[in-house]
Amino acid sequence: MAGKLEGKTALVTGGGRGIGRAICLLFAQQGARVAVADLDPQTAEQTAAELPTQSLGLQLDVTKKNQVVEGVARTLAEFGHLDILVNNAGYVTYSTFEECSEETWQLIIDINLKGTFLCSQAVLAHMKERRQGAIINLSSLAAKNGGLAAGPPYAAAKAGVSSLTIGLARYMAPHRVRVNAIAPGVIDTAMTRSPQHDKMTATIPLGEKGQPEDVANCALFLACEDSRHITGEIIDVNGGLYMD
């Protein structure tokens, strides 16, 4: 039986490890050709080499517009078209309101929010011309609870991602391009191994951290035809930590 993404192509930022790697693996298992973009070229190449479909490893700094434009161009040259963009690249380091430096604030905003905007902007003309496509952004529980375990710049950046998702979904809907977001809670990756996250884990109603595959399964749903009538949504994957 054909996979849910048979004949599709995807570009996944931050695809070399953690949630991004899980998304790349699942998309490829479902038939997609995948461009694995990561700031670390070695992890990008390693993950790309593991995929069962045609793949491309890309070194990509999502905060640099020239690199983003070049990465999208290389993806199109390799695959011929692009159906799915997953804006997964992210960075967090915990800080308080008093201790957060200007440099930390700017770095976190740039990677999480500016990077999502630049990558989305780079694919819009292509998706509009083809009148199809799916953009999936990674927001966060921090966007809803103020960043209890992540700090102010990360919470602000991810709240911006959620708002950007809704605005872009409305803008692209006439062109048949869907834009949605996933808001993970505490997922078992290197980014959530801190005392602050341990405290939150203890309060998860379902009793355990999520796994990267839990987020990947949600991304697959948003990328395929199962969600053809869904756009502008932010879906929580948090084990019940936040319910709305």
pLDDT one-digit tens code per residue, 217-239: 999 999 999 999 999 999 999 99
Cα-Cα-Cα-Cα dihedral sign, residues 158, 162, 45, 209 = positive
Residues 226, 244 contacting (CB under 8 angstroms): no
pLDDT, residue 231, reads 99
pTM of the model: 0.96
pLDDT, residue 243, reads 94
The first and second tokens of residue 163, run together, are 């708002």
The first and second tokens of residue 74, run together, are 């290389």
Residues 234, 139 contacting (CB under 8 angstroms): yes
Active site amino acids: 154
pLDDT, residue 200, reads 84
Whole-angstrom Cα distance, residue 102 to residue 116?
Answer: 20
Q: From 210, 212, 182, 208, select the one nearest 26 (Cα to Cα).
A: 212
CA dihedral 211, 214, 219, 224 (to 10 degrees): 140
pLDDT, residue 1, reads 53
Rounded alpha-carbon distances, angstroms, from residue 94 to 146, 158, 194: 13, 14, 9
The first and second tokens of residue 96, run together, are 């308080």
pLDDT one-digit tens code per residue, 2-26: 799 999 999 999 999 999 999 999 9
pLDDT one-digit tens code per residue, 24-56: 999 999 999 999 999 999 999 999 999 999 999
Q: Give the residue with greater pLDDT, 214 vs 244.
A: 214
Q: From 62, 96, 97, 68, select the one nearest 82 (Cα to Cα).
A: 68
| List of domains in the chain | 9-237 (3.40.50.720)
pLDDT, residue 148, reads 83
Alpha helices in the chain, H assignment, sequence order = 18-29, 41-50, 65-79, 102-109, 115-130, 142-145, 152-172, 195-201, 212-223
Cα-Cα-Cα-Cα dihedral sign, residues 15, 20, 22, 27 = negative
pLDDT one-digit tens code per residue, 58-74: 999 999 999 999 999 99
pLDDT at 96 over 90: yes
pLDDT one-digit tens code per residue, 150-202: 899 999 999 999 999 999 999 999 999 999 999 999 999 877 777 777 888 88
pLDDT, residue 196, reads 72
Buried b (16+ CB within 10 A) or exposed e, 217-229: ebbbbbbbeebee
pLDDT, residue 62, reads 98
Q: From 117, 19, 131, select the one nearest 81 (Cα to Cα).
A: 131
**Could you give the percent of the chain with pLDDT greater than 70?**
99
Q: Give the residue with greater pLDDT, 117 vs 199.
A: 117
- Strands 133-138 and 84-87 come out as parallel
Mean per-residue pLDDT for 207-219? 97
